[in-house]
Amino acid sequence: MQPNILLVVSDQHRGDWIEWAGASFVNTPNISRLQESGVVFKDAICPAPLCVPSRICLARGQNYGFAKSDCQNGVALDNDGVLPTDGQNLYSRLRDAGYSVGACGKSDLRKELKTWGADGLHVVDSRPAWHDLGFTHGFDSAGKHDGIWAAEEGIVEPYLLFLRSHGLDDVYLSDFSRRPFPDYLNTTPTPIPDFAYGDNYVAANAMATMQQMNEEGRPWFMQVNFMGPHEPMDVTETMKDTTRQRLFPLPRGTLDVPEDTYQEIAGNYVAMIENIDRQIGHFLALLEDKCAIDNTVIIYCSDHGEMLGEKGKWAKLVPYAPSIGVPLVISGPNIRPSEVTAPVSLIDLTSTILELAQARPLQHAQSESLRSYLHGETVRDEAAVRVSGMGPWRCIQSRDYKLVVGYHDGLSRPEIRAGRWSGEMSHPMLFDRHADPHEQHNLAEVEQGVAQQLFARLQSDFVI
């Protein structure tokens, strides 16, 4: 029997700011409920710490910036990437397997084209590209900053149109004019009411779409694309009240903002995570009400992490653990609860979902199915590695070590975004993942043999 599949993807939720990673200062009872009845992958990374590349990698089941020697590289190198409508993606495969395929929120699969439109279907020359990608239901909307940039250019997208219908568009645009990109320092609450807050809007539409697909009687797949906890720190007053009295751990390294400012930033970041958890609670209640929860696989993950001041850095793009690490849990029927410490990648969800759905695998996919973990059948090879990359750098990590090449802390954000990896072992950084989980000590000179072995894996398994 083909199960329903609910995939919840947040934006910029770092993998160690969640309860199962020891972050007791984050309250996520609904995600913890998934943990108790599912498999938690405690060493999950994204293929690229940037929205569009990571999400296109997931859709294609391929690593960032790599291609097998017998095929073309189909994944984006920067946020200007666009997922082709060639049928080679997760969503079209699910549709072809008989699924209703829905998504709501910011998919980031075609945002560079700015063709969302009022219905979020990316209609070009009377043809909805949204359907050509494989989606049968739902819509695509812009992210936080993209929605503002679209409005400035007079481009229509669903969320701002929704705000306009409630007389809130000018309120929203005025608020964001005080939140430049990127902005962490403005932690004042947004004047937008709770019902119209971005992630609550996404959740409400996702609920309606799930209900519609469930009533159609076919197996369904639903991807919920939240905008948070991505900066800016635009939480509602209600959300801010939930974290006002808490203290959060300070980042390691030089803190470049006052401690009280950091506490405000961290509080808003956590408030966004906890708001997403509340929406997941609504999804679970709907599934229970419709008697669908016993046949629904539920997955929670994020597209990439967030440095949040660690090593004096913010946002993503860099190869350090807070930037590339993501939360990942899979819960559902016949899944045996467990914790997995083997390294896995976000792209492994692609093959996992297709296998669960009894759908055809993707050609040239570098994704490895996690299904055996879900049933407690096998353990991945101890020599398993997973990779991530961005611009000029690549990293490869095993259970014990992590090697980064092509990166140094002097690189600026524009240099990373515009850079391309040389294919060489330049600026190597090697970290012992057990003895040095916070990546403070570069062992590349001391453990040259280990570094060379990992680099050889990088070269033998993947090509530019």
217-251 residue pLDDT tens: 999 999 999 999 999 999 999 999 999 989 999 99
Whether the per-residue pLDDT at 213 is higher than 70: the answer is yes
Going by pLDDT thresholds of 50, 70 and 90, the confidence category of residue 464 is: very low
Whether the per-residue pLDDT at 262 is higher than 50: the answer is yes
* pLDDT more than 90, % of the chain: 89
Count the Cβ atoms, other than its own, within 10 Å of residue 53: 27
Domain spans, the chain: 4-374, 391-461
Whether the per-residue pLDDT at 116 is higher than 50: the answer is yes
The amino acid present at 456, given as its one-letter code, is A
From CA 124, how far away is CA 136, in angstroms rounded? 17
Provide mean pLDDT across the span 279-293: 96
Going by pLDDT thresholds of 50, 70 and 90, the confidence category of residue 461 is: low
Provide mean pLDDT across the span 183-197: 97
From CA 351, how far away is CA 60, in angstroms rounded? 10
pLDDT at position 68 = 43
Going by pLDDT thresholds of 50, 70 and 90, the confidence category of residue 65 is: confident
Count the Cβ atoms, other than its own, within 10 Å of residue 245: 7
Structure tokens at 237: 């007053």
Q: Which residues of 120-135 are buried (b: 16+ CB within 10 A; e: fewer)?
A: bbbbeeeebbbbbbbb
The label of the residue with tokens 């939930």 reads 242
Structure tokens at 261: 């400012």
In DSSP terms, 401 is beta-bridged to: 432
2-18 tens-digit pLDDT: 999 999 999 999 999 99
- H or E element: which one contains 432? strand 429-432
199 or 72, greater pLDDT? 199
95 φ, ψ to 5°? -60, -45
Q: Domain spanning 4-374: which CATH class is it, in words?
A: alpha beta
- Chain mean pLDDT for the chain: 94
Structure tokens at 259: 């401690």
339-391 tens-digit pLDDT: 999 999 999 999 999 999 999 999 889 999 999 999 987 665 667 889 999 99
Parallel/antiparallel/unpaired status of strands 220-229 and 100-105: parallel
pLDDT at position 49 = 98
* pLDDT more than 70, % of the chain: 96
> CATH classification of 391-461, choosing from 3.30.1120.10, 1.20.1050.10, 3.30.1360.10, 3.20.20.370?
3.30.1120.10
Question: For 178-288, where are the E strands, in sequence order?
Answer: 220-229
Classify 323 as helix, strand or coil.
Answer: helix
Going by pLDDT thresholds of 50, 70 and 90, the confidence category of residue 275 is: very high
What secondary structure does DSSP assign to 403-431, as a single string? EEES--TT--HHHHHH----SS--S-EEE
Q: Residues 228, 299, 216, 157: what is their CA dihedral angle, to the nearest 10 degrees? A: 20
Provide mean pLDDT across the span 169-190: 96
pLDDT at position 69 = 37
pLDDT at position 253 = 85
User: CA distances (Å), 65 to each of 81, 141, 388, in order?
Assistant: 12, 26, 9
pLDDT at position 74 = 52
366 or 268, greater pLDDT? 268
Provide mean pLDDT across the span 176-196: 96
442: left (phi over 0), alpha (psi -120 to 50) or beta: beta
298-327 tens-digit pLDDT: 999 999 999 999 999 999 999 999 999 999
- Check residue 37 and report its DSSP letter: T
403-426 tens-digit pLDDT: 999 999 999 999 999 999 888 999
Going by pLDDT thresholds of 50, 70 and 90, the confidence category of residue 393 is: very high
Structure tokens at 239: 């959300």
pLDDT at position 426 = 96
